[in-house]
Structure 1
Amino acid sequence: MKEHYHLKETIVSIHADDASHVEAAKEAIGFHRSLLENYIRRDPYFQVTLEPHSCMEEAPEVARRMVDASNTMGLGPMSAVAGTIASLAVEAMVEAGASFALVDNGGDIAYITDRQIVVGIYAGESAVKNVGFVLEPVDRVVGICTSSGTVGPSISFGMADAAVVFSENVSLADSAATALSNATDTGKEAVEKAFKVLDRIEGISGALVVQGEYIGMWGNIPDLRRASVDYDCITKG
């Protein structure tokens, strides 16, 4: 089953086999959003800075994960918010008994799966269309996160149509995708150079960049195959 869930700025698609697992995800999103909102009231700079930041000692887990990931990539904490919320939601689904669970938070995806699934790549007006990643079964929560300089409302200083990062740390995948998108200019050589921002970053297994007609790949990524990418299935506001 699939449910579209909207809570303030958080707009997600929740995929599960059981309604109770969907409810677990929704409860987790509400809980961790509330903790984060309360924390930001005490530390407003946390929400607006685009540079590395530090946490107060009593910061909630959601804020700590965001800071750890974003500091690794040299960015502000909010670069990891979507992936972190998605990861916490899937973790709650697993605690509720799920062996298949996927939360897509605007292109930042956390999942665990007991079956092969295909996740499509949406790169806006790029010539690269109807391509998807074949994701094999995995028994732990992992992430596939996407950022773009040409698609969606997120802040980006680059020209990537899609910058995708894979990691077992979903928060890190989110922040790294932002950094990769920021580093992407136009043209084949620019795509190749963009991956330098991922050098020596532990915990990232692979990445892909789509820019115009070009696709660049780095590290280990899942197999690609032709797939029908339905715009109406994309999680968006």
Structure 2
Amino acid sequence: MTLRHHFELRETIATILADDNQYIDAACEGIRQARFEIEKYIIRDPFFATSYEPIPIPVGPDIIRRMGDAAQNAGVGPMASVAGAVADAGVRAAKIAGSAYCVVDNGGDIALISDRPIRVGLYAGDSPLSGKYAFLIPPKDEIYGICTSSATVGHSFSFGSADSVTVFSQDPILADAVATSVCNSLSLSDQSSLEDICEEIDGIYAVFGETSIIWGEIPPLVRAEKREDLITAGGLGFIRQGSNEV
């Protein structure tokens, strides 16, 4: 039976799905350790937490260097990928513990491994498309990222106007950074920000009201039943396993 666990630690408010409490516990510990490493690094380099531009990371823990690399690839500050980095750390810890199925939804920035199909619902605020569709994600043996940024939902600062920009990648940290970058610049009249997307990104799905923009390859979109109780604190996603219901 799939277990659903609500996790909160300061700014992190996440939903964790796994098949056993030991994997839930492992994911929680992975999140705690990730936050500890990030917070410790910010004490050493406060600019890491405030920069809107990429900054050099000469030394540091793996999670810090991966955030720095993602920022360089996306052209944003390193903290633009923090939610994806924390989600990735949780799933990575569960995978090391032996889990074949674990999802960490960190306010709409999702990392997962899965031995079964799952659906990730599209939530885009007041858009008419919101809650009506879900992405059908096939089983994933390796960690996969589905990260969403919005200029109209949630508390994150954005320069853009998109109701949602969802990015798919095998690297959740990079997916989070690219979602932020594209959301900051993409518009219906100017899609130039999609011209230089790095090759590690599989696809992008952006919503502006009744209109959507697709870049690359995205998972199939299927009809969904909107479930307010499944929307996480960031307000950018909801998730359920299986192939018949969201």
2:77 aligned residue = 76
**1:153-198: CA deviation from partner (whole Å, max 9, x where unpaired):** 111110110100000111110000001111133xxx33xx436345
Unmatched 5+ stretches in structure 2: 235-246
Contact in 2 for aligned 1:180/1:195 (Cα 8 Å): no
Aligned CA-pair RMSD: 1.2
Aligned mates of 1:25, 1:200 — CA distance in 2: 30
1:225 aligned residue = 222
Give, in angstroms, the shift of residue 229 of structure 1.
Answer: 2.2
1:40 aligned residue = 42
Letter in structure 2 aligned against 1:120: G
Contact in 2 for aligned 1:14/1:25 (Cα 8 Å): yes
Q: Secondary structure at the match of 2:123?
A: coil
How do 1:50-65 and structure 2 match up within 5 A? 50-57=52-59, 59-65=60-66
2:242 aligned residue = none
Q: Secondary structure at the match of 1:63?
A: helix
TM-score by length of 1: 0.94
2:162 aligned residue = 160
Give the percent of matched residue pairs that are identical in Structure 1 and Structure 2: 45
Give, in angstroms, the shift of residue 32 of structure 1.
Answer: 1.4
How do 1:97-116 and structure 2 match up within 5 A? 97-116=98-117
Give, in angstroms, the shift of residue 200 of structure 1.
Answer: 4.5
Give, in angstroms, the shift of residue 213 of structure 1.
Answer: 0.8
**1:8-65: CA deviation from partner (whole Å, max 9, x where unpaired):** 00111000000000000111111111111111001000000000111142x1111111
Q: Which has the higher contact order (CA 8 A, sep 6+)?
A: 2
Aligned residues: 231
Contact in 1 for aligned 2:186/2:193 (Cα 8 Å): no
How do 1:139-218 and structure 2 match up within 5 A? 139-185=141-187, 189-190=188-189, 193-194=190-191, 196-197=193-194, 199-218=196-215
Give, in angstroms, the shift of residue 137 of structure 1.
Answer: 0.6
TM-score by length of 2: 0.91
